[in-house]
């Protein structure tokens, strides 16, 4: 009997599982990059005020929360593949239909469909990442989210390039729908980490209580919620802020948004090593403080260039916060990783419900620059919450402390 071939087989399977997970995050990020750049064009074409756009995005976020709360238990019962396929095909349909929107009323309807469907992709990708961590004993969530940042960078750059050469935003939406549909065909045949095996070692006491009551999950929920509040505001109004408040053109706006995601990519790649050396608590403390400083620069410094510089600092700092929190949630609830990740993400998405409406309404009453200054406080809250972060993974989690990526 020969052991080397078996080892090579196992290594090949692990690599396929990692590449599939990374691909999901890449596609999810790509759509976000396109979405962020296109919002300003969509708002201009339909003549939407910031408050109106904020309410439409809030409707999408509300729909997403419904999906996550309902899908958390479902993904642990029926498996990951059906959830991911539903998300990819449904989101593709939403963008195909969004390319034909001509009024604010139909816009809200399409945003709701989009919110319902894209949350399935988000849930599926993060749950597959949590499964991988538990099956192979490696912390990879930060590295996987680096793939998300890379995808967002590519999506923003490609979208801005197409707009700058005269391709209409409606055509870009149709192209994005094609990318999502192609990803669905790939997932249909791809190999996924064995999700049932990921539940070994479950704490029976955890099954009897709401997953949000598990201390590790509760802390992850708090961190993700305040971080998503800032993310929701930037995702909804960053392009508009640069175009209107900073007088940046289409190309510079695209560069600013793309640069933000590039900074996030670099931040996650760097954080993957810092987490091993400094530990999660110190990294989150530094991230919260640095992100607050970046936002202060973005809204306080004059001109488009200093504002973009501040946003780059923010993107660099915020990068490891959410993946680190989702990793904690997944390993903190053995046997209920899908539900823990879904509940944490859903709570975070609840901040998206509040964030666009609050920032948009405050911008209507004052200025968008003043409204975005509120984000300084949200990132300071992350620094405060980091003081309660556990110094090590919970016992029985099965998560090792090897390399942070593949």
State the Cα–Cα distance between residues 173 and 85, nearest whole angstrom. Answer: 19
Q: What is the pLDDT of residue 30?
A: 94
Residue 115 located in a structural domain: yes
Nearest alpha carbon to residue 347 among 234, 228, 214: 228
Residue 10 located in a structural domain: no
Residue 66 located in a structural domain: yes
State the Cα–Cα distance between residues 91 and 186, nearest whole angstrom. Answer: 15
Residue 84 located in a structural domain: yes
Residue 52 located in a structural domain: yes
State the Cα–Cα distance between residues 391 and 378, nearest whole angstrom. Answer: 23
Note whether 104 and 43 are within 8 A (CB).
no
Instruction: Read off the CATH number of the domain in which 250 is found.
Output: 1.20.1250.20
Range of the domain at 37: 18-193+212-388
Residue 6 located in a structural domain: no
221 alpha carbon, distance to own chain's centre: 14
Note whether 338 and 72 are within 8 A (CB).
yes
Residue 400 located in a structural domain: no
Nearest alpha carbon to residue 250 among 170, 172, 171, 162: 162
Q: What is the pLDDT along the chain (406 residues), one digit of tens a residue?
A: 333 443 444 557 888 899 999 999 999 999 988 988 888 788 888 887 777 787 888 788 788 888 888 888 788 888 889 999 999 999 999 999 988 887 777 888 889 999 999 999 999 999 999 888 888 878 788 889 888 878 988 898 898 889 888 888 889 999 999 999 999 999 998 888 887 644 444 455 545 567 777 888 999 999 999 999 998 888 778 777 777 666 566 667 777 777 887 888 888 888 878 887 888 889 999 999 999 999 998 888 777 778 888 889 999 999 899 999 988 888 877 777 788 888 898 888 778 778 878 888 888 888 888 888 899 999 999 999 998 888 654 443 333 333 223 3
Exposed (0-12), middle (13-18) or buried (19+): which is 99, by Cβ within 10 Å? middle
Q: What is the pLDDT of residue 250?
A: 66
Give me the number of domains the chain comprises: 1
Tokens of 37: 């750049």
Residue 332 located in a structural domain: yes
Q: What is the pLDDT of residue 401?
A: 31
């Amino acid at each position: 009997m020969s052991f080397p071939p078996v080892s090579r087989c196992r290594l090949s399977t692990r690599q396929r599982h990692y590449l599939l997970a990374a691909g999901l995050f890449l596609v999810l990020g790509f759509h976000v990059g396109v979405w962020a750049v296109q919002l300003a064009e969509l708002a201009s074409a339909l003549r939407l005020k910031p408050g109106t756009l904020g309410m439409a995005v809030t409707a999408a976020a509300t729909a997403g929360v419904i999906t996550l709360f309902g899908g958390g238990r479902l993904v642990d019962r029926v498996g990951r593949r059906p959830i991911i396929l539903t998300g990819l095909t449904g989101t593709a349909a939403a963008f195909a239909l969004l390319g034909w929107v001509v009024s604010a009323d139909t816009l809200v309807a399409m945003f709701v469909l989009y919110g319902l469907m894209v949350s399935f992709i988000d849930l599926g990708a993060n749950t597959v990442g949590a499964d991988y961590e538990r099956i192979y004993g490696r912390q990879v969530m930060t590295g996987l989210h680096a793939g998300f940042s890379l995808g967002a960078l590519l999506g923003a750059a490609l979208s801005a390039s197409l707009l700058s050469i005269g391709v209409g935003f409606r055509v870009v939406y149709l192209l994005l729908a094609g990318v999502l549909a192609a990803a669905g065909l790939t997932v249909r045949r791809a190999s996924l980490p064995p999700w049932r095996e990921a539940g070994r070692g479950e704490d029976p006491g955890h099954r009897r209580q709401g997953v949000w009551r598990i201390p590790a999950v509760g802390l992850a929920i708090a961190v993700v919620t305040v971080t998503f509040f800032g993310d929701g505001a930037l995702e909804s109004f960053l392009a508009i802020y640069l175009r209107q408040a900073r007088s940046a053109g289409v190309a510079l706006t695209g560069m600013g948004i793309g640069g933000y995601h590039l900074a996030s990519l670099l931040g996650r790649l760097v954080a993957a090593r810092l987490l091993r050396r400094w530990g999660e608590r110190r990294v989150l403390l530094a991230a919260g403080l640095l992100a607050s400083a970046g936002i202060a620069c973005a809204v306080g410094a004059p001109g488009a260039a200093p504002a973009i510089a501040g946003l780059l600092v923010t993107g660099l700092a915020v990068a490891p916060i959410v993946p680190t929190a989702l990793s904690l949630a997944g390993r903190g609830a053995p046997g209920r990783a899908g539900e823990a990740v879904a509940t944490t993400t859903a709570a975070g998405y609840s901040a998206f419900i509040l964030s666009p409406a609050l920032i948009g309404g405050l911008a209507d009453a004052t200025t968008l620059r003043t409204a975005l200054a509120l984000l300084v406080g949200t990132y300071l809250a992350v620094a405060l919450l980091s003081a309660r972060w556990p110094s090590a993974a919970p016992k029985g989690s099965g998560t090792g402390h090897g390399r942070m990526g593949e």
